Structure 1
Amino acid sequence: MRINFFSRVVATALFFALGTIAASAQVSRAEGKVTLKQADGTEVPVKDAVVEIYRTDISGKFPTKTDKSGMYVHAGVPFGGTYTIAVSAPGARPDFIAGVRVNQQPTNNFSLSPGDGSKLTLDQIRAAMASAPAGGARPAAGGGGGESKEDKARREEAEKKNAEITDANKKIEESNVVVNRTFKTGNDAFAAKRYDEAIASYDEGLRADPEQSVFYLNKSVVLRTRGVERYNVATKSKDTAAKDAAKADFTAAAENAEKGIKFYRDVVSKRGAGAAGNPPAGGAASQGGDQSLNYLAARSEAYRLALLTGTPVPADQAATAIQEYITAETDPAKKAKAEASLGDALFQGGKIDESIAAYQKVLASNPNNMEAMFGLGIALAADPSGAKNSEARDLLQKFADKTEPTNPRKQEALDMAKYLDDTIKNPAKPVDIPKGTIKQGAGRRKN
């Protein structure tokens, strides 16, 4: 049954989305470089500098060290928190930056001055900040002997910059509260199938932070899940308005998935190739700690459902999205499912020969893939010469014989098979083209 098919889609969407919620946004990445100023004015990387990342909105500490190039990375910093990053190293004055939100400001570099190699505690940092004129003081010199003019100038400049950071992060902390709250309420509402409430929560989170890619990702999943349920009901009740509302959800799901990928890739790009790894073909990065595949899968599924339900979406954009996912996906079953959708996207874009090749590829490995069977029949029938009418008729008849009685495409396939059969038997006799079948693609270009 068509309804059962979509019920399976709903179950899959729920599983995927909840998995994504657990995996996509619980941790952020903190990184940067630590250098030490030399007497000649140059700076050199500091190896084994101690970097302590203190969470200050709630209790938490995440230590790490620099490598030989002075770089530090901590990939397990909890999402959405506010942090103070403190750095110490032998022969250097310790330093810190307060009010850091690493998912907004992942890279924080330190240029240390010579000192006694002392280490700051969080209490000392808080005391230094409380006594600083601008509310953003760096730690005092640890090397003894007073403060030189150069060091004083550097300290005052650092205090000024820290004050600016602290002021900016007040606003970030305010939005942080909203982001954490709406992320949780949105996920909880989705798990309870309160889709409108989930979407409203994600929208509120996006108003607080419009570049949070995971909100777009999860919103896309909610929209397509709601769309499937609406489409099921509308198909059963033959409610055109409800079906249009479902299609609007599929369109919005694709749009939000596109935005999610854009902002996610922006974050990966800011980390740099060395931090994120070299992405393979198709734009997907390695699945190690990366979430690219989740984003690609969500976008591909949104376009797949749109194409399956006749929802107008940009065909070339859909084809690109599905192809990127196919390139990244390693699961054969998921890849084959997407390849059938690629045929739909290519057909809608007028690339008939390419769509035929895509459908044939799916059927070669799975002869009973119903969507590819129907799509290939329609694509073959789009040949204006009529040379492929017999093959198209047989495929569409086979589809109609095998598919569930309630599948809306069953009658469409029967009507088209009859039309093709009549055309083959009476080529000179005018025959009305059935609605919703070949007429949709007949005027499109071939490759």
Structure 2
Amino acid sequence: MPTTTATATFTLLGQDGTVSAAELNEAPAYAKPTAPLRSRVAYAAAHVVPKTWADNTPGQPAEIDWDATLDFRRHVYSWGLGVADAMDTAQRNMGLDAAATRELIARSAQVAREEGGSVVVGVNTDHVEAESISIPEIIDAYKEQLHFTEEQGAGPVLMASRHLARAASSRTDYLRVYGAVLQSATTPVVLHWLGTAFDPVLAGYFGADDWTQASDVLLRVIAENPGKVAGVKMSLLDAAAEVSVRERLPEGVRMFTGDDFNYVGLIGGDSLRSLSEERSDETKRAESTDGVLSRFARSTTEDGHSDALLGAFAAITPVASAAIQALDASDPDAYLSTLGPTEELSRQVFAAPTFYYKTGVAFLSWLNGHQSAFQMVGGLHSARSLPHLSRIVELANAAHALEQPELAAERWHGLLRLNGLDA
């Protein structure tokens, strides 16, 4: 468990430019798991690290620092989590070009084999440069990436396609495309439903703006292709929608939460989700651990829960691992007290415009010593303001998500000084 003893201070920058000081918590004392995590399947959607000296400006091809990028994946595996790669966190459609995507998939799959880790990767149609293509061309494009992924030995995540969003004239087109692609798959895939907060181009995906209607199409895709779908990753930032779809999934199809706003309760399960909401009221925090454990023990066999495939887990990997270890130990109170404080941090990282969340993930990677510079392909490191980043530092410190607090403070203060601010 983390310690809350303050050893130093760090500087915060307000929205109005005011500067204040806060206490820096000591490094958390989380332990890496000694056995595979059991109670939940969890993937961290990992980012990419560019070469510091590369032309990391908008529109330029991605030049990846492969050592740092792949070492980050080894870091995730060391904490017992799987890696979700070449997805939106890795800047698909926001700086990661087709050639870099293919190399990332191949290299990441190799690291997974070396480390004995589980890796799933994004399958899309984005290697086709034309903005608009026909339905048959979309099917062929999906199949090309799917078969490459299968050849590498990685699990496929069938991502939402901008091409399909533009070309589809009805829900029948979605059924046609997904049916053809799934029937060509040699291993079960995960279907990714990405909401417009992450990509506005995907409005009306699955044939409707209303999620209740769109979910009917998603579930029909699964029903018409038995044995082809291993799970669904929902990224709508709507907990009620996720629970509704989760309850309708066929047996054997997992729900992987992509809800970076509400993952604590969704992963914890129905009883813990209710308990998490109760605990937001300070008067309920007096409930004894024994009471929590009793309620948890009565309900775990009946509760629905989501597994995880989250960009947030790339930012808080040790904390996420510690929380799932607590579930493995049938300790829901430790789960909530460990993971609960990270949700406010995640909401800051994923604040609107949500598609710039990658900047916060890379920023925390830099603060935690996983890359030498705060750089991103496509110049995306400039997508968030200094006050926004300051709030990330503040919340990461409070959530015990700073793996090396003194290094984090040193790097943050250096960034402030570079921008003409005293720290």
TM-score, shorter chain, exceeding 0.5: no
Asked which structure has the greater CA Rg, the reply is: 1
Q: TM-score range by the shorter chain?
A: under 0.3
TM-score scaled to structure 2, two decimals? 0.27
Give the structure with the higher percent helix.
1
TM-score scaled to structure 1, two decimals? 0.26
